[in-house]
Amino acid sequence: MDTPVLKTLKRQLAYFLRRFYVGIKTGPSRQHFRTYIQGQLGNLERKTAAAIALEAGVAPRSLQEFLEIHRWDHHRVRTRLQEVVTQAYAHPQAIGQIDETSYAKKGDQTCGVQRQYCGATGKKDNCVVSVHLGYVADAFHTLVDSDVYLPEETWAHDADRCQAAGIPDEVSYRPKWQIGLDLLARSWAQGVRLAYLCADEIYGRCHHFRQGVAEYGIIYGVEVPCSLKGWTQSPPLQTPSTHASSTGRPRTQTRLAPGAPTPRRVDRLWQRGGPSWEAFHVKETQKGPVVWEIRSTRFFPWEEGLPGPEQWLLIARQVLTGEHKYFLCNAPSDTPVEQMIHVIFSRWHIERIFEEAKGQVGLDHFEVRHYQPLIRHLILSMVSLFFLMQESDQIQEKKIYLERASRSPGTRCAASVSYTHLTLPTNREV
């Protein structure tokens, strides 16, 4: 945010920040809180604690200590953020996104650092990964929760390393899908309600994750790998026997009946023919419309040897590139395909959120090694991002109002629809 623009919003920012003082009790900590947020919203090239401090004319060590050792309740700041977002942008059709982002780092001392796939560099690299919950309500979007991923290979069983990085004893290894469910549970407890949720295949491939999301009554649209197996019709099952047979102990678990069809990979369901492809205009870009062709069918995913709950399988094919993606959606059987597409392709919001969080407020500019200051940085970045998104949303609303007010009577404005069904002249086979 440009400095002149930030100055015009000085009053709004002061009021906004006061809403978070419930977690920051002392005067010095509140001052550092204001300084840090203002620095993240400013136009510094690198928004590190040291750079923000120098810009504000305070000692760099003071902001570093604010992150590392000051006694303020960052958990309460996070829950307050979730409460404020809910109060301002609660929506019956709100969409959540679980996704991760990475930060390239040197050395091996930073909490959670490991050589792993790094989206920032597009390859396996030394980096830190954090998992996030995004929130979308109409055109508004922001982050409502975050946590650090601690790789099992290099951190879970190294007590000395964890202690050196300041990781509390109660914080242990969790797979990314479990972190995603924990973020959902934490936000839900503060009143954040989601009608839908989308995630990529890192999360969608795990049936425990899908089940955990469904338990909230949320309709998910998650990407799954092409190797996922299942059935388009429920296979016959053998129920547990209550009587011992002559051959041994009675069965105590349900299993597939003899002769049941073998589950098939989703990329091999239809070698020939199959449901027709339908074309959908997913979004508009500077290069033109993005169109995907969709096949859909009811599906029973293979889950630990048995068919899982009946749901939708959607196979998407990019018209220009031929790229294929596969999605599961637990929407009711009478749900229009357009509605499911709206959910599964809402993931582009989280990509944009990460771009804004890194490019505008310095989400990836942290220079801390220990667990607590890293968590605090993530939370403060979410607060800064929410203010930025809120002000941008209000500016856009004013712009729309002025445009409507300036139109001559009787002039009609075409409705903006993100996901519009298209009819293409031909249907091509897989």
Q: What is the mean pLDDT of residues 131-140?
A: 95
> What H or E segment, with its residue span, contains residue 16?
helix 10-18
Q: What pLDDT score does 421 carry?
A: 30
pLDDT band at 348 (very low <50, low <70, confident <90, very high): confident
Question: Distance (Å, rounded) from C-alpha 238 to C-alpha 136?
Answer: 44
CA angle 160, 161, 165 (to 5 degrees): 115
- pLDDT of res. 417: 31
Residue 61 lies in a domain: yes
Choose one of 72, 102, 129: the last residue of a domain.
Answer: 72
Q: Is residue 21 part of a domain?
A: yes
Across 65-89, average pLDDT: 96
Cα-Cα-Cα-Cα torsion 198, 202, 208, 213, nearest 10 degrees, comes to -20
Listed residues 310, 340, 370: the one ending a domain? 340
Residue 417 lies in a domain: no
Sorting pLDDT into bands at 50, 70 and 90, what band is 395?
low
Does residue 336 form part of some domain?
A: yes
How many domains in the chain?
2
Cα angle: 45, vertex 121, 183; to 5 degrees: 85
Give Cα 311 to chain centroid, integer Å.
22
The answer to whether position 330 is within a domain reads yes
**Model pLDDT, residue 430:** 30
Q: Is residue 47 scored above 80 in pLDDT?
A: yes
Instruction: Specify the pLDDT at position 253.
Output: 84
- pLDDT number for residue 415: 33
Domain with 263 in it: 224-236+253-340
What average pLDDT does this structure show over 389-398?
74
CA-CA distances (angstroms) from residue 285 to 290, 294, 348, 418?
7, 20, 12, 11
Q: Is the pLDDT of residue 327 over 90?
A: yes
Confidence of residue 119 (pLDDT cuts 50, 70, 90): confident
Would you say residue 425 has pLDDT above 50? no
Residue 301 in 3-state DSSP? Answer: strand
Among 45, 72, 99, the domain boundary falls at 72
State yes or no: pLDDT of 272 exceeds 60: yes
* Ranges 162-171, 231-240, 307-316, 414-423: which has the least confidence: 414-423
Integer Cα distance of 85 and 227 in angstroms: 38
Greatest CA separation for the chain: 88
In the prediction, which pLDDT does 410 show?
A: 45
Percent of the chain exceeding pLDDT 90 equals: 73
